[in-house]
Amino acid sequence: MKKVMLFGAAVLAASTWSASAVAGRADDTMNWATDREVAIVDPYYNNVRELVVMGHLGWDALLFRNLDTGEFEPLLATGWNWVDNVTLDVDLREGVTFHDGSTFGAEDVVYTVNHVSGPDSGVLTPNNVIWMKEAEALGPYKVRIHLKRPFPAALAYLSNAVLMMPEGHYDGAPMTADGKKDYGAVAPVGTGPYQFVESKPGEYVLWAKNDAYFDGSPKGQPSIANIRFRTIKEMNTQIAELLTGGLDWIWDVPKDQAERLADQGSVTVENAKTMRVSYLAFDVDGDSGQTFFTDKRVREAVARAIDRESLTRNMVGPASVVIHSACHPDQFGCTQDVPRWDYDPERAKALLAEAGHAGGFEFDIYAYRQREYTEAVIGDLAKVGIKAKLTYMQYRALRDLVWKGETPINHMTWGSNSIPDVSAITSHFFSGGRDDPAKDPEVVAWLEEGDTSTDPEVRRAAYKKALERISGELYWLPMFTYAKYYAYSNDLDFTPTSDEIPRFYATKWK
């Protein structure tokens, strides 16, 4: 009821709003918001989706992936050639400058690759870069990138996840109290269509159009003068500001509110699929101190108790689908032909009784995104006698608890940095690293085979074995693919994309 009343207040405010109050088009500033705080503006040292989006505003990669064709196109590179399956030569574009006025060239690529792939770089998503061994300059505008092993998804990462920094960019990073360099504190500098102006952690990040952006970029020339990201915690406040002109663009709008916005007609509303998935990860080894989920029967009871079809249909949106594998169906190597755990609350109760929990039990569940989705999960679990206490946190704080093994169940999401390959998700979570809840040696070995083979069929077969095992043992319960409701000003010429990277650099006023 509260949501409906607040939404009604927002509509009333919009109906009395005068056109002179438009904050976006009037000063050529596109304002967008999420509930996420952004303290670090660096795509290597902040891996929330907001920084993935900003990463493509402020920085360029060597390649660009055309979503219409699926082909890779030149960006900072003009051409590339595989010398062998672990050596890639790249020709670089001339006439490109960084936002600080320095000229882009081979030394910048060498510096970036060698820094982020180094053992002490502290990059938050190491799988994005650890496949690279080093880079060397073959001339002022030619580099050779050496891989540690064959990595068939290399071009996908070089187009989305490896963004170029100027030579020496991190050298002057300040020291933290524990004697390590704080690379995320370095002022942002890239070659992208927008350049960083200023930020206030927890409030906003402001970007301005790069008037010196190079001709011929597949990103095109930026149109809107300024892009401002704002942190607004409450969705009702975001909606109210969108309707009254304080915001121009929001997403993750709950389904019921999005439908009412669409009916009201004062803004554009779209539901579009993304490459993000929702999942529950179980503490299968009991590190958290709550040992319920070391028993596979209990994990299965949880899986059987949750009506994922209903949640997806009623809360997420029409572009969402239930998934059964630890990957997105659009990614290479992803198969849904794995053991499935369909909704069956009576079977869930029987499994709990078999495991010695006929009266149910209480445990802690952790989440950071779309609280209403986790609350729906909690409601389903309560129906079979499992009482979950929710701890709702910011992403970075929860991520740190997950790395320490302190969460009995965490309900989280992963967007794969929009990489259309299983290596960007399954290999990230199940190759034995700090995000791996199981550290199953067989799974690790299969993923290694899939990640390094240049034969597509070998890759598919290896990934299928790993995904069957992950699902069969219920290390994860994959939930659904995300479908986002976007709501934005009718004045905005914007098109959603399936990779969950809004192309704000290509957005225009109508």
Q: What is the mean pLDDT of the chain?
A: 94
Q: What's the pLDDT at 498?
A: 86
Model confidence, pTM: 0.82
Which pLDDT belongs to residue 22?
A: 47
* Average pLDDT for 92-112: 98
Contact 487, 258 (CB under 8 A): yes
Share of the chain above pLDDT 90, in %: 92
pLDDT tens track for 136-167: 999 999 999 999 999 999 999 999 999 999 99
Q: List the domain boundaries for the chain.
A: 36-231, 274-483
Residue 130 clears pLDDT 90, i.e. is over it:
yes
Rounded to an integer, the average pLDDT of 4-19 is: 37
Question: Contact 478/324 with Cβ under 8 angstroms?
Answer: yes
221-233 confidence digits (pLDDT tens): 999 999 999 999 9
Return the ∠ at Cα 430 (arms to 272 and 367), rounded to 5°: 55
Spatial CB neighbours of 389, under 8 Å, sequence gap ≥ 6: 362, 363, 364, 365
Confidence check: pLDDT of 54 > 90: yes
pLDDT over threshold 50, residue 18: no
**Using CA atoms, how far apart are residues 434 and 268, in angstroms rounded to an integer?**
41
Question: Percent helix, strand, coil in the chain (nearest 5)?
Answer: 35, 25, 40
Higher local confidence (pLDDT), 489 or 178: 489
pLDDT tens readout for residues 445-477:
999 999 999 899 999 999 999 999 999 999 999
> CATH number of 274-483: 3.10.105.10, 2.60.40.10, 3.40.50.9100, 3.40.640.10?
3.10.105.10
Please say if the pLDDT value at position 5 is more than 70: no
pLDDT above 60 (res 19) = no
pLDDT band at 23 (very low <50, low <70, confident <90, very high): low
Average pLDDT, integer, range 422-441: 96
What percentage of the chain has pLDDT greater than the value 70? 95
Q: Which of 365, 352, 235 is nearest to 297 (CA)?
A: 352
Q: Average pLDDT in the 378-403 region?
A: 97
pLDDT of residue 2: 30
pLDDT for residue 417: 87
Helix/strand/coil for 312: helix
Q: Is the pLDDT of residue 330 over 60?
A: yes
CB 242 within 8 A of CB 489: yes
Tokens read off for 179: 């004697």
Of the pLDDT bands very low, low, confident and very high (cuts 50, 70, 90), residue 25 is confident
Pick the CATH number of 36-231 from 3.30.300.30, 2.120.10.30, 3.40.190.10, 3.30.70.120: 3.40.190.10
- The DSSP code for 163 is B
Query: Which residue(s) pair with 493 in the sheet?
Result: 508
Q: Give the chain's count of helices (H) and strands (E).
A: 14, 18
